[in-house]
Structure 1
Amino acid sequence: MTLFDSIGIAGSGVTVYRKWLDAVSDNIANMNDAAPTSGPAFQERFVIAQEAADGKGAQVGGARFGNAAGRMVYEPNHPYADDKGYVRYPDINLSDQMGSLIMAQRGYQANLAVVDRAKGAYEAALQLGRS
């Protein structure tokens, strides 16, 4: 594996973790979105990572979505309330999302550190060549 391979592999990891961070931030931003009981609730998003097609690195293989049924909350004064007074909310747990956020953030930072170290090693090799 060359230095450029390590930069490319870590770069693919950065992309996967960025997509994961995007999904978690969407989940957190929409966890209190109400919907009428006649429609679906916001569906929690999960990123599916897989090996890259060339075997070097990772890529986003797709997304999985949570339950559209959500949870029913009794709020008779809400504009979306049905005739029984219920509103549909997403079934998203903030604690789970914060745990995912920390894991994705650490993975993102680790991959950026690999890119930075590989860049430093490449620059050092160039300096040796100039001597």
Structure 2
Amino acid sequence: MSAGGPFRAIGIAGTGVTVYRKWLDAVSDNIANINNAAPTSGEAFRARYVTAQAVDYGSGTGGVQVGGIELGSGEGRLVHEPDNPLADENGYVRYPDIDLGAQMGQLMMAQRAYQANISVVDRAYDAYQAALQLGRNG
């Protein structure tokens, strides 16, 4: 491993951990709000989508960062629920247009990527500790 290798690996993997944590937060928020009704006079809950971007693109040394949060449509879908207290005069309420299956797929991908980056941090830490032990014994 090159000089600074474990630290560089920890830093780059740490950026991935941060991005994937934000992605997990956004997906969790989307799933938690999937059944939130809103009056037709307002917007439905707007799904959150994390946009990631490379840091120092092309150099391979900067890692990744959250480039922004994109919001889904507030139009949602109209559902006829005349007994809902939020229903309009025609009995409709607005629900978010969020696909639970797609969100679960996103959740699994983000979770696996988060775990992979944590594993890189753990392996780099172990390599650093081994190098320290060599220095003490040498």
Q: For the superposition of Structure 1 and Structure 2, which TM-score range results when normalised by the shorter chain?
A: over 0.9
2:40 matched to 1:13? Answer: no
Among 98, 105, 109, the alignment partner of 1:103 is 109
Given the two structures, how large is their TM-score scaled by the length of structure 1? Answer: 0.97
Code of the aligned partner of 1:113: S
**Hey, what does 1:47 align to over in structure 2?**
50
2:79 matched to 1:76? Answer: no
In structure 2, C-alpha distance between the alignment counterparts of 1:70 and 1:52, rounded to whole Å: 34
Q: CA deviation at 1:99?
A: 0.2
Q: How does 1:15-34 map to 2 (within 5 A)?
A: 15-34=18-37
Over 4 Å off, 4+ runs: none
Unaligned runs of 5+ in 2: none
**Quick one: percent identity of the two aligned structures?**
66
Given the two structures, how large is their TM-score scaled by the length of structure 2? Answer: 0.92
Cα deviation 1:3-31 (Å, max 9, x = unaligned)? 11110000000000000000000000000
Q: CA deviation at 1:52?
A: 2.1
Cα deviation 1:29-54 (Å, max 9, x = unaligned)? 00000000000000011000001258
Code of the aligned partner of 1:114: V
In structure 1, C-alpha distance between the alignment counterparts of 2:32 and 2:112, rounded to whole Å: 21
Among 119, 126, 131, the alignment partner of 2:132 is 126
In structure 1, C-alpha distance between the alignment counterparts of 2:18 and 2:8, rounded to whole Å: 15
Structure 1 SS opposite 2:29:
helix
